[in-house]
A = this chain, B = another copy of it.
């Protein structure tokens, strides 16, 4: 497939490399910042550009992988293309595209991407959607080339998945950061709790989290809970989070 990539951020970069590795023909990379566009374009043997009017009009697939609120305006520049136009957003409705282009779809990789951190795309769930059955088949075949977990998912379910992802990824990472804050204030190092973080995630690879909850709240150990709350007196924000999450864990006991 002849593919044009619009975007050069973390998702765009990981996706482009995975597609390239499977022999897809990435012809152009667009970014408003030309050096960003060219930097990714060079890595995948494409042309880098920062002018939307120079976009190849006869590609098979256009992947818009940019900030949610910029998707619509970029889609407007693709009004005349005949190929399929998809975005990679968890929260953006397909209608943002189908109001602009004839063939619209979604190609949402459910993962947290960081610059410089290699990832095996095989293990990344890909959620796809299209406004037409034949386009869905095309997306499905493409997705199956790079991932072992492909889900056809309507917009509502995709948004639910994105919300769940905030609870499963963004919030846990912030709690790691708060743990580090507590450690640092007491001259202790984050290194000490890395094995615990790894094991906590590893446990739910083969269990459901509600079946492997540990800690003072699930034991209803009020003595330890109160000790911890009093240790956080000087950090009222963390104290509030401790109380809120412990209360929520205790609700599961009822």
Residues of A near any B CB (own CB < 8 A): 68-69, 91, 110-114, 117, 119, 123-125, 149, 151, 156-157, 159-161, 163-180, 182-183, 186-188, 190-205, 207-210, 212-218, 221, 223-224, 227-228, 231-232, 237-238, 240-242, 244-245, 248-249, 251-252
Contact = CB atoms under 8 A, between A and B. Distances in A.
Given A168-B179, A228-B163, A251-B237, A110 B196 contact: yes
Q: At the interface, is chain A mostly helix, strand, loop or mixed?
A: helix
Given A167-B175, A167-B178, 17 more contacts: A114-B214, A125-B192, A125-B195, A125-B196, A161-B183, A161-B192, A163-B231, A170-B217, A174-B252, A177-B209, A180-B209, A190-B209, A194-B205, A197-B201, A197-B204, A201-B201, A201-B202
B215 A166 contact: yes
Which has the most chain B C-beta neighbours within 10 Å: A69, A124, A210?
A: A210
Contacts of A159: 227, 231
Contacts of A251: 237
A207 B18 CA distance: 23
A205 B198 contact: yes
Contacts of A125: 192-193, 195-196
15 contacts: A69-B223, A110-B192, A110-B196, A111-B195, A125-B195, A149-B192, A161-B193, A166-B228, A167-B178, A170-B216, A172-B201, A173-B213, A173-B214, A201-B201, A237-B251
Nearest to A91: B224
Given A169-B215, A196-B169, A241-B248, A164 B188 contact: yes
A210 B149 CA distance: 29
6 nearest CB pairs, A to B: A170-B215, A201-B201, A172-B172, A176-B209, A167-B179, A168-B179
B223 A177 contact: no
Nearest to A215: B170
A194 B199 contact: no
Contacts of A245: 171, 174-175, 241
Contacts of A210: 177, 180
Contacts of A193: 110, 125, 161, 164-165, 168-169
B199 A172 contact: no
